[in-house]
Amino acid sequence: MEQVVRRVSSTRLSLLALISLLPSILVWWLLTNPRRNLEIEVPTQHFLVVTAVSAIALAAAGLIAHAARRTQQHHVLYVALGFMAMAGLFGMHGAATPGVFDHSHADIGDYNGSILGLSAFLSLFVPSLFFAASVTSIPDIIERRLRLGSGIVFAIVVGGLVVYAFLAWIHPHLLTSLPISRTPASDSMALVTIGLLLFTVLRHGELYLRRRLPLHGAMVIAALLLAQAQIPMDLAQPWTLAWWVYHALMFAAVSIALISLVLEIDRRLALDRFLPDDVINRALAGELISRAPEIRVATILFADLRDSTSMAETMDVNGMVELLNAFLSTIAQCVIAEGGVVDKFLGDGVMAIFNGDDGADGARAAARAVLRMQRAVAALNVKRSSDSEPTIRFGAGVHTGTVVLATVGLRERSDFTALGDTVNTAARLSGVCKLYGVEAVLSGETVSRLDGNSTQTRPLGTTTVQGKAEAIPIFALDAR
């Protein structure tokens, strides 16, 4: 059945891709016969069309960026940045429309050496960079190795667009003197753009066939339309029918892609904090979530608040609820930031599942989450100390092993959770933290998968865990 569904999805995507290539036939038909390629010079209508496309792209980019930050999906953020760049640069293309505003270059007959042309080429070239980057490891490298968070990247892109708009409006000659504003450099930029967009098509096509998510299917169609838009943008004379076709293609691409992206991310927001990615993907792809159990190797993390009982005796109800919310939200955000799944909240604690694709079965991601927790709780205590609030202490237990992932409960209301000895061991390790006076205890099985992160661990010896015949080696994980 799975193979049949995959074949149907592949056929459907291929059919849509072929249909989306039809505009190329129209462009070829117009460009090969100048008599058909009529000239329609309506500056006001051009300005309105371009402004509408830019406004839709900007609004949707904002929604996507907001959702991407909430779910810590850095790759999706780069799709949003691509559409935001398109909105700003295509908007400048519209503002440079001859005859709409009082421009010195109002009599332009082609794109060479004009803000109108340069903005048009950049409105596809810059987004194609972001779209291609979104399906590579570049976002992870920028986030983790270069230490550039999403906010900084967002600010850099916005700053670049503001600078470009200022120069285009106040000192256009500084931009039009650049080689990329004229052929043959602009032709080369167009070829690179088409190549990047086709790469985006291939990668999102692969992802769609594997996951069957609307996001990937929509990006395949949108990138194909944008690649075709680049051809008449480069070859057609302004105001001709072929030139108008590329504006229509950009409008179609933005509409198709953004509607699908916004709908999917909005639906994912309600699920991703509680369900593993593979379950969410199946649900968004239209499949029913199977109640059949699955056996996986995963890493389980338990983290709970220390001394919560004594705190409850000395604090009023409102203060205790506020403390719990602050602690649990901090811990949960650390889990989500490292790709973990918040399985459930346990009164004053959290259970999380990590099942990464990096070959470490989630161990590395869980260790990074613990280190985040240590830093985040320390920062929270500094903030609370000014109000003379009690210090927050926590303990975390982490263990890697075989688990059973299953949907349990009633048919009307059920939970997707992990079951088995691995879960029980991780829960008991969180209690061991008290005995050794540490914030995190990792099992030897987890530490053996950490590689470079193992330098932040130190052996604590062995401990006997209820339900196990033999003692297991344990390690402390300390932030440095």
Query: Are 202 and 75 members of one domain?
Result: yes
Q: 326-351: per-residue pLDDT in tens?
A: 888 889 888 888 878 888 888 888 99
Cα–Cα distance list, 21 to 93, 206, 225 (Å)? 25, 19, 7
User: What 3-state DSSP class applies to 480?
Assistant: coil
Q: What is the pLDDT of residue 1?
A: 37
Point out the domain boundary residue: 204, 237, 269: 269
Q: Is pLDDT larger for residue 462 or for residue 8? A: 462
Q: 388-424: per-residue pLDDT in tens?
A: 677 888 989 999 998 887 767 655 555 667 888 889 9
| Alpha helix segments (H runs only) across 346-389 | 363-385
Query: Are 243 and 309 members of one domain?
Result: no
Burial pattern 133-172, b for ≥16 Cβ within 10 A else e, equals bbbeebbeebbeeeeeebeebbeebeeebeebbeebeeeb
Q: What's phi and psi for 467, nearest 5 deg?
A: 100, -10
Average of per-residue pLDDT across 224-239:
91
Q: Is pLDDT larger for residue 148 or for residue 12? A: 148
Query: Are 298 and 259 members of one domain?
Result: no
Domain presence at residue 274: no
pLDDT tier for residue 22 given thresholds of 50, 70 and 90: confident
Q: Is pLDDT larger for residue 456 or for residue 325? A: 325
Range of the domain at 197: 2-269
Q: What is the mean pLDDT of the chain?
A: 81
Q: 343-386: per-residue pLDDT in tens?
A: 888 888 899 988 865 556 888 889 989 999 999 988 888 887 76
Query: Are 315 and 405 members of one domain?
Result: yes
Whether this prediction's pTM lies above 0.85 is answered by: no
Query: Are 265 and 300 members of one domain?
Result: no
Q: 192-219: per-residue pLDDT in tens?
A: 999 999 999 999 888 887 766 777 788 8
What residue type is assigned to position 202 of the chain?
A: L
Point out the domain boundary residue: 269, 304, 329: 269
Whether the pLDDT of residue 148 is over 80: the answer is: no
Query: Are 247 and 311 members of one domain?
Result: no
Q: Are 475 and 442 in contact (CB under 8 A)?
A: yes
Q: Are 429 and 473 in contact (CB under 8 A)?
A: no
Whether the pLDDT of residue 103 is over 70: the answer is: no
Point out the domain boundary residue: 235, 269, 303: 269
Whether the pLDDT of residue 220 is over 90: the answer is: no
Cα–Cα distance list, 92 to 50, 410, 423 (Å)? 9, 56, 56
Query: Are 39 and 119 members of one domain?
Result: yes
Domain presence at residue 276: no
- Give the containing element (helix H, strand E) for 397: strand 394-409
Residue 359 and residue 173: Cα distance in Å, rounded?
53
* Lookup: tokens for 440: 């995190």
Residue 344 and residue 331: Cα distance in Å, rounded?
12
User: What 3-state DSSP class applies to 471?
Assistant: coil
Query: Are 215 and 330 members of one domain?
Result: no
* Lookup: tokens for 105: 């270059």
Q: Is pLDDT larger for residue 97 or for residue 128? A: 128
Q: Are 284 and 267 in contact (CB under 8 A)?
A: yes
Q: Which of 395, 393, 418, 422 shows the shortest CA–CA distance to 405?
A: 418
Q: What is the pLDDT of residue 200?
A: 93
| Total domains, the chain | 2
Average of per-residue pLDDT across 215-240:
88
Domain presence at residue 255: yes
**Domain CATH number, residue 413:** 3.30.70.1230
Average of per-residue pLDDT across 231-238:
90
Q: What is the pLDDT of residue 74?
A: 73
Query: Are 27 and 165 members of one domain?
Result: yes
Half-sphere exposure of 143 (CA within 13 A, CB side): 19
Rg (CA), the chain: 27
| Alpha helix segments (H runs only) across 141-184 | 150-170, 172-176
Domain presence at residue 284: no
